[in-house]
Amino acid sequence: MTPRRLAPDEDTTLLRYGLGVTNLVGRPSAGEGDLTWAEFVAGAARLRQDVAAWQPRVVACLGKNVARGYADLGRSAPVAWGPVPTPAPLPAPAFAVPNPSARSTLAYADRLSAFRELRAFAGCDTGRD
């Protein structure tokens, strides 16, 4: 997504590339299973406000429940990795990607493929792989 790999302490430089990172829920958790649906809904409402203010090209949602929340879909709405169809317009399109964590149950190749699709969808083709 960027022309070079950034170190974790360079997270503020993401804005130079039109990118940003945030948490949907502002409390520590071991995983999304520790969060309630009400927390997803409340966090997503705040995120939509932030997205409207910052106007990014796309919102990458790490996990299908995050995508459901941001896209204002129901808790059990079907979501696939990739662009998320929504019933109503959003401040920026949603793109669901698996969590890149090594704890993910998806194979690394599948996670990498999803992020490559996101990069192309967002128009961030940097020539890096």
Q: Which two structure tokens, joined as six digits, stand for 122?
A: 């967002």
Q: What is the pLDDT of residues 26-67, one digit of tens each?
A: 888 888 888 999 999 999 999 999 999 988 888 999 999 999
- Which two three-digit tokens encode residue 65? 């429940």
Q: What residue ranges define each of the domains in the chain, with the CATH number in brackets?
A: 8-122 (3.40.470.10)
Strands of 59-62's sheet in order across: 59-62, 94-97, 82-83
**84 against 104, higher pLDDT:** 84
